[in-house]
Chains A and B, each alone.
Chain A
């Protein structure tokens, strides 16, 4: 019942190392023998990211409910762009996985989209979003997402892909979202286990290296390390 180790792939390396790729010259031989394409450099970095502290998450799924509510106007865990997975019978900290879009510096989902429906939104800090009108429902972006679970979500009702837009487009919430606004999941999380940042987080295959637990949290007896 423990969390499955994620499959390693070339894309893993790319998204993990992508932050440091920016400075490489075109044509650098990539370890593994793959030549990087010019278009890598055509996708500017996102100006916003969700930070999650998996050890602080209480598994209440309020973030999922808020995501679905503000974007879709209804409650549906399957349509939430952030997914919290948990197992009641597993020990801390391996009992909960938080699956939020990393807004990858090199986004395989963008690369995979044949219609450019999935693109970096220049008007909203280059966050990677789906223009649903252009989405043909081929699901290649979902398959391309290197993470398990895939951070691009299939909307089985509207038959298109959708993903975290940092709340740039929340038709059912009056607040302004996006990199300069509020995010629904951050706003409701009772544990403050999700935060927004404009700085590319330090990350590894297993997730972000994030600790949002301070001295007050420690006073309740729960670990802050």
Chain B
């Protein structure tokens, strides 16, 4: 198939050897996550090792679409390995990052990077096309992620400034580039083995969840830099070009003449409906001269760059980490996270620390001793002190660097998680959308390894009615039309009841089908083909008169144009099912059992008290429900799990796949491994 470069770079930091893996061995997985899981399965013989064990393997994978004009697919890198962030178990996990890194890796000739072992001193990886070197990073160690990248840029370009054509490799035939090398780096948090350290690329691209910054740190790997001047082959260039124009002209937000636009000016949140450029900072308005900013090949360009350069490229919660001290300081606080390399979701609920301070539990000489300037909470000075403490493991930062759940456990306050004083519903990950209500998110998370961060349905079923309501606008599409539109795109099911978030609907068989569809969709189309989470799938599109988005037509259209294959949407879903089962097997070898797949206590015991917006079938009609006064019922959820496991072909008593299921997917070897450990589901 076209689109692949044919080789995966394999780097063993222990003996400093560099070799290659033939991509063909793993093409059946599509790319990205599927390939990463399969490589991890093959290379990590003992899946029970810890994240910081030198035998842990980290994969950074691309896909055939990376580096091409396939919209919002060109830029993504899927990062995998055992991650230290999840609590109480360090699951095999994933993170995903945009920007320029993945395409540059492909232009250099590589489909991915596999990092094994541990260097005996700090190193960085210098990739210039086929020329790969493990280089000394002792002068970079201690630098933040921005400084590190700029130092590497200068090194790769022999100290010369950018802005012109630069030679890559030797002689004029090695190729030239006007581009800066794409660098992914850790900051001080990663160096100090924080479990909430991330990988940062450029200003605002982070592989955040999972804790891969700490894993890089444990391997003494400061950064990976890549610059390439080669080609990504495309099977049908004309089809790809025409499909991209179709995407822009039919489905994209027309910046000059939008079909629908926000009734309120400078209101980023409305971009969740229209997907207009620069909406990524969500709650933050544009407060200084700025531009929208996109990852390579994007058709939306959700990010932003500002005249001060503060908060450049930041989006979503990293942009709203600390907004109480004005917009400029909000951006400065965000930059602190990016520079130290701290995952915002690891410390987003800093208000909990203030609560402990107010309760007299935390502070100078208190039960939890801390000299952080709590009296300045809300001011930038507190954010500066807090992030520095975490990055360098000072004060309570030493505990927080282990992640909030482990810090809370050490402080003897696990009841705060159970009561929901701090909301960490699944695997110690931060609350993202309400786990009692928006269950495709919470169920998907607890059945997996992390907060899933998959906005497939969320943009439509939650954000659209919420944002319209926020500005007193009648929802631009009725609840009934919305569920019918989405359902028509849920190949192979087409069942509107899958979108029912009512108190009954969340335990239904239709909801099991919804989760089944969602897990398989994201594992292939989103995390392996690497369509961006924020752009794909497209169910409800405000840029077309009838609201019908491009899913499921778009997904195979671009994949086939690039690769020259002829797969259908459904065939992609089936590969996704295979990947989901392989991941499941890895977790089972790590110790997974259905009994562990339970939420924090508050999810069951504390009813919702604030209005939320979700599609629901209530009293015989479709509405946008405010979902008040609801919690999850323990027994009903357990019964739902049984129904879901059966749908997946897993043994409901354990949650382990059956041999027949794995055989059907061509995973007989996985079944053998599970059987050898006594962990195969009963038929």
Contacts and interface: CB of A to CB of B under 8 A. Distances in A.
Contact of A77 (B107, B202, B290, B291): B107
A70 B289 contact: no
A173 interface: yes
Nearest to B244: A188
B210 interface: no
Interface string A33-59: 000000000000000000000011111
A91 B300 contact: no
Given A58-B277, A59-B293, A95-B312, 15 more contacts: A56-B255, A60-B298, A61-B297, A69-B68, A73-B234, A76-B232, A78-B229, A90-B309, A99-B178, A190-B277, A190-B301, A216-B255, A216-B256, A220-B255, A222-B278
Interface string B135-167: 000000000001001100000000001111100
Nearest to A61: B296
A95 B309 contact: yes
A104 interface: no
Interface string B267-302: 110010000111100000110011111111111110
Contacts of A191: 255, 277, 292, 301
B266 A4 contact: no
Given A156-B175, A221-B268, A223-B289, A148 B163 contact: yes
A149 B657 CA distance: 57
B367 to A, nearest CB: 42
A92 B240 contact: no
Contacts of B237: 69-70, 73-74, 172-173
B316 interface: no
A129 interface: no
B176 A154 contact: yes
23 contacts: A60-B296, A69-B237, A74-B234, A76-B232, A77-B103, A77-B177, A78-B177, A85-B163, A88-B305, A91-B312, A92-B291, A92-B309, A139-B172, A149-B164, A173-B238, A174-B238, A174-B242, A188-B244, A190-B298, A220-B271, A220-B286, A221-B278, A221-B285
Contact of B203 (A4, A58, A88, A157): A88
Nearest to A76: B231
Nearest to A225: B289
B258 A216 contact: yes
A1 B103 CA distance: 22
A219 B202 contact: no
B313 interface: yes
Contacts of B291: 55-58, 92-93, 95-96, 222
A184 interface: yes
A172 B232 contact: no
A169 interface: no
A121 B387 CA distance: 60
Contact of A89 (B67, B150, B296): B150
Contacts of A95: 291, 305, 309, 312
A161 to B, nearest CB: 11
B608 interface: no
A65 B68 contact: yes
B295 A60 contact: yes
Size category, B interface: 35 or more
A192 B256 contact: yes
A3 B163 CA distance: 6
A100 interface: no
A134 B262 CA distance: 54
A222 B292 CA distance: 8
Nearest to A148: B164
Contacts of A79: 231
Interface string B191-209: 0000000000011100000
A71 to B, nearest CB: 9
B241 to A, nearest CB: 5
B233 interface: yes
B255 A188 contact: no
B248 interface: yes
A162 to B, nearest CB: 13
B301 A60 contact: yes
Which interface residue of B103, B245, B254, B268 has the most chain A CB atoms within 10 A?
B245
**Of listed A56, A159, A190, residue having the most chain B CB within 10 A:** A190
| Size class of the A contact interface (CB-based, 8 Å) | 35 or more
A1 B271 CA distance: 31
Contacts of A190: 248, 252, 255, 277, 294, 298-301
B683 interface: no
Q: Closest 6 A-B residue pairs measured CB to CB?
A: A221-B286, A221-B266, A60-B294, A58-B301, A88-B202, A172-B237
Interface string A180-202: 00001001101110000000000
B23 interface: no
A217 interface: yes
Most buried by B among A79, A83, A216, A218: A216
Interface in B214-241: 229-234, 237-238, 240-241
Most buried by A among B164, B292, B297: B292
Contacts of B149: 88
Contacts of B293: 58-59
Contacts of A83: 178
B231 A74 contact: yes
Nearest to A154: B176
A214 interface: yes
Nearest to B299: A190
A92 B163 contact: no
A74 B149 CA distance: 29
Contact of A184 (B177, B241, B255, B292): B241
Contact of A65 (B248, B268, B297): B297
B7 to A, nearest CB: 17
Nearest to B271: A220
B609 interface: no
A217 B256 CA distance: 6
B384 interface: no
A222 B203 contact: no
A205 interface: no
B269 to A, nearest CB: 12
B215 to A, nearest CB: 24
A59 B278 contact: no
A219 B266 contact: yes
Contacts of A87: 162, 180
A71 B112 CA distance: 27
A18 interface: no
Interface in A117-166: 139, 148-150, 154, 156-157, 159
B257 interface: yes
B256 A88 contact: no
A111 interface: no
B261 interface: yes
Interface string B556-588: 000000000000000000000000000000000
B256 A214 contact: yes
B161 A216 contact: no
B472 interface: no
